[in-house]
Structure 1
Amino acid sequence: MQKQRKITSMFLLIIAGEAIFLLPFILMRVFKPVIREAFLISDAQIGEAQALYGITAVLSYFFGGFIADKWEARKLLSISLFLTAIGGFWMLMIPSIFTLKILYSFWGISTILLFWASLVKATRQWGNEHNQGLSFGLLDGGRGFFAATIALSGAGILTFFFPEKGIEITSEHKIETLQYIIGTITFIVFVVSFLIWKILPKEDDNFESGKEFQFNFKKAFSLMKQKKVIFHSLIIFCGYCSYKLTGVYGTYAKDVWNYSLEEATYFAVFIQYLRPIAAISIGWVADRFIPSKIIIPSFSILILASAILGFGIFNEQPIFLSFTSFIFMALGTYSLRGLYFAIIEETKTPLQMTGTLVGIISVVGFTPDIFMSLFIGYMLGENPTIIEYQHLFTTFTIIPIVGLLAALGFRKSISKL
């Protein structure tokens, strides 16, 4: 019975953990080429909308950590999903760019305030001190598989509704197809909200002690000043910058390799399916070594792959070489996704303070939500060529270098614990 309960809990955490971000992120990451043309907006305007998401999200991370330490995760997760799905109906109307910006600001609150720290805390509790890599690897890998499957279904819709290659696709046709995709995703988020409320097991008595939790500002500020927390925040920051960059993989295929909308979408979906492979495999490996040690080669792979793309080393070579570089970038990125919360256990932070710690490190770690899409949009412009993409990847290479240094610093800081 206990084993079945743990399997059910992890399954629902996985589904909820990705369903919450389907509308604000996965939709844009996988279907950006279609969205740009249906909404008649540029990468820069998309970046502005997502920057507003980032601003409201950063504030929500901080306060959400305290909420997660006080109230039951089941209720917090379900309410967040319900509110986010309501925003899906708003997007279904293909609003103006101004309204889209308001929607993304709302999503910054609905997807984070009651949700994120609760999800991380529940995942930490699901495992034990010896299998945190597997716990978070399963969470992120499962989320990746779910997101990729949703994206693949959406790509199938594109193939079904769009005419054959070579025939002109009207603006009305693109809008209609996108509305089918948005409507389907919105329905899925509503269903997941209901399932979490009804099926996710209620918390154990020892977890209920969180109701008696009283936030202590002194302890919170003492956490902020610790080197291990600062380095941890930087690791998440650099890893998340890498994750945000995966949003350009599909547009790169369309703009540089001259892929069609459908081909670019399927390429983006293929990249998504690398996420469960990388996150779960690396999580399993990390538990046999130490998660923070595995983060070091993950950043090293990112440095190498982004430098190859940035300096155009394979520009004159067959496409499959550049294709391989993107695969390595994705593997490095998704490995980090599966590990950067698994190292919480190495910090020796009490379980009762998990939400507070997650809130603090997330404020810094997820600030790329504010600027990364905006940065990418302005770097690429309205009609990007291979030159603009090279400038983007060259500049980005700085990020994993900082991440590698932060990982080394984190290892040194926890060696004294």
Structure 2
Amino acid sequence: MVNNNKLSRNLTLISLILAGEAIFFLPFVLPRIFRPTLLAVFEINNTELGSFFSVYGVVAMVSYFFGGPLADRFPARSLMVVALSLTAFGGMMLFTIPQSLYMKMLYGFWGMTTILLFWAALIRATREWGGALLQGRAFGWLEGGRGLTAAIMATLGLYVFSSQTTTADILISERIYAFRLVILVISGVTLLSAVLVWIFVPKSTIRLKDESLSFNNVKQILAKPSVWLLSVIIVCAYVGYKITDDFSLYAKEVMGYSEVKAVGVGTSALWMRAFTAFIVGITADRLRIVRVISVCFILSLLGGFLLAIGVLQSNITLTMVNLTFLMIGIYGVRALYFALIHQGGIPLVLTGTAVGIVSIIGFTPDVFMSPWMGSLLDNNPGAIGHQKVFLVLSVFSLIGFIAIRVFSIVRK
């Protein structure tokens, strides 16, 4: 019986992990890993790509507010299955290589499917899985597993893409054909994850009744200083995560890598994301979550600053070492920030509402970061643009470090 219960818990977490990454692969991970290819195939620049993400971000901001209470009221399993199925359907539109207007509509659609129906439900299900003692492990393993899933799928996508491109100077027809194959594979995995969630994720046992969904719940959450500090922490952490979109382009334009090798750098970052999240998830439950997040912000601050001043630019080896520590900082904070919900004294029954409120502020980089980064890169060609992007990372990492230190005082 114990073994069956352990197996059931493991299968639940694996399903949450796969679903938690699969739903974001089409709108975010593909552009992150295949950014140079996507720009060429869709015949757009960085600023235009940023505008797609902005549409997503605006829809997401509204969806966070309504999606939180939705997750407290309806079974997480049902919400996630619908969201995954609709997101995979959107992949079929991406397959057609639509024009800019339709891409904006698609990203708006994905903003609804991934956030309104999915995000708060995923966080709530993960918190329930972790219980009172394993919050660091629950969210660390969720993020690590998501990173591992992304790394495996990116590696598969890289194999599919490279197998269809036989020369260094890739023809546009080859790019389109290879990219479409990648889209089909990712859409299929997204749909498969919906099936696994339906089979292995149990229904939530603690839910708000209809009559308890009131403004008083929102007031109760907003009255906690820890909620506001957590929002700031997530903003700073998410700015760093959005800047990882620049890694593959940085490798191509500054480090001089080929298009395929640049994709390889982005894929390597996903493997680092998985490794980092698994390690910090275990470490945080032993050494305190706040302490580990503080160290990770320091790594992001220092790593971003070294890239911003260009001191390592002429040395590829040192640049890669610095990028590695930078990834550890960025992915370490990302793995743990939602584990702070438990430490912030937020009741389990209001997890969805809290996630919705925190996310409205915390994920505003979905609105402003991609256009800002695109503008910096397009208006400052070459290394200068990338240096300005990493300077932004350093500033937000400093703010995040200050916020987590204040959080550690306020929550006591």
TM-score bucket of the superposed structures, by smaller chain: over 0.9
SS of the aligned residue for 2:384 comes to: helix
Q: Please give the alpha-carbon distance, in whole angstroms, between the structure 2 residues aligned to 1:346 and 1:170.
A: 53
Match of 1:374 in 2: 371
SS of the aligned residue for 1:36 comes to: helix
Answer yes or no: is the 8 Å Cα contact 2:273–2:327 preserved in 1.
yes
Answer yes or no: is the 8 Å Cα contact 2:23–2:190 preserved in 1.
yes
SS of the aligned residue for 1:41 comes to: coil
CA shift at 1:283, angstroms?
Answer: 1.1
Q: Please give the alpha-carbon distance, in whole angstroms, between the structure 2 residues aligned to 1:382 and 1:399.
A: 21
Amino acid at match of 1:13: L
Correspondent of 2:345 among 343, 348, 357: 348
Correspondent of 1:8 among 6, 11, 22: 11
Answer yes or no: is the 8 Å Cα contact 1:275–1:334 preserved in 2.
yes
Superimposed CA distance per residue, residues 177-204 of structure 1 (whole angstroms, 9 cap, x where no aligned partner): 111111111111111112222332333x
Match of 1:260 in 2: 258
Answer yes or no: is the 8 Å Cα contact 2:232–2:403 preserved in 1.
yes
CA shift at 1:5, angstroms?
Answer: 1.1
CA shift at 1:222, angstroms?
Answer: 3.4
Amino acid at match of 1:214: S
CA shift at 1:347, angstroms?
Answer: 1.2
Structure 1 residues 208 and 344: alpha-carbon distance in aligned structure 2, compared to 1, 3 A threshold = closer
Answer yes or no: is the 8 Å Cα contact 1:42–1:382 preserved in 2.
no
SS of the aligned residue for 1:325 comes to: helix
Match of 1:56 in 2: 59
Match of 1:215 in 2: 213
Answer yes or no: is the 8 Å Cα contact 1:12–1:196 preserved in 2.
yes
| 1:52-131 pair list within 5 angstroms | 52-131=55-134
Match of 1:198 in 2: 199
Answer yes or no: is the 8 Å Cα contact 1:14–1:140 preserved in 2.
yes
41-50 or 122-131: bigger deviation: 122-131
TM-score, scaled relative to structure 1 = 0.96
Superimposed CA distance per residue, residues 55-86 of structure 1 (whole angstroms, 9 cap, x where no aligned partner): 00111111100000011011000000011111
Q: Please give the alpha-carbon distance, in whole angstroms, between the structure 1 residues aligned to 2:182 and 2:17.
A: 21
Structure 1 residues 378 and 2: alpha-carbon distance in aligned structure 2, compared to 1, 3 A threshold = same
Answer yes or no: is the 8 Å Cα contact 1:71–1:211 preserved in 2.
no
TM-score, scaled relative to structure 2 = 0.97
**Equivalences, count:** 409
Structure 1 residues 149 and 285: alpha-carbon distance in aligned structure 2, compared to 1, 3 A threshold = same
Answer yes or no: is the 8 Å Cα contact 1:5–1:201 preserved in 2.
no
SS of the aligned residue for 1:35 comes to: helix
Amino acid at match of 1:182: I
Match of 2:29 in 1: 26
| 1:233-272 pair list within 5 angstroms | 233-272=231-270
Q: Please give the alpha-carbon distance, in whole angstroms, between the structure 1 residues aligned to 2:200 and 2:132.
A: 26
CA shift at 1:164, angstroms?
Answer: 2.7
Superimposed CA distance per residue, residues 197-254 of structure 1 (whole angstroms, 9 cap, x where no aligned partner): 2332333xxx244345621212312322421111000111111110011010000000
SS of the aligned residue for 1:112 comes to: helix
Answer yes or no: is the 8 Å Cα contact 2:206–2:349 preserved in 1.
no
Match of 1:409 in 2: 406
Amino acid at match of 2:291: K
Q: 2:185 matched to 1:187?
A: no
Structure 1 residues 383 and 411: alpha-carbon distance in aligned structure 2, compared to 1, 3 A threshold = closer
Percent pairwise identity:
36
Amino acid at match of 1:356: T
Unmatched 5+ stretches in structure 1: none
Amino acid at match of 2:10: I
Amino acid at match of 1:367: T
CA shift at 1:296, angstroms?
Answer: 0.8
Q: Please give the alpha-carbon distance, in whole angstroms, between the structure 2 residues aligned to 1:195 and 1:128.
A: 22
Q: Please give the alpha-carbon distance, in whole angstroms, between the structure 2 residues aligned to 1:384 and 1:327.
A: 24
242-251 or 210-219: bigger deviation: 210-219
Answer yes or no: is the 8 Å Cα contact 2:72–2:207 preserved in 1.
no
187-196 or 372-381: bigger deviation: 187-196
Q: 2:358 matched to 1:358?
A: no
Superimposed CA distance per residue, residues 146-168 of structure 1 (whole angstroms, 9 cap, x where no aligned partner): 00100001111122110133xx3
Unmatched 5+ stretches in structure 2: none
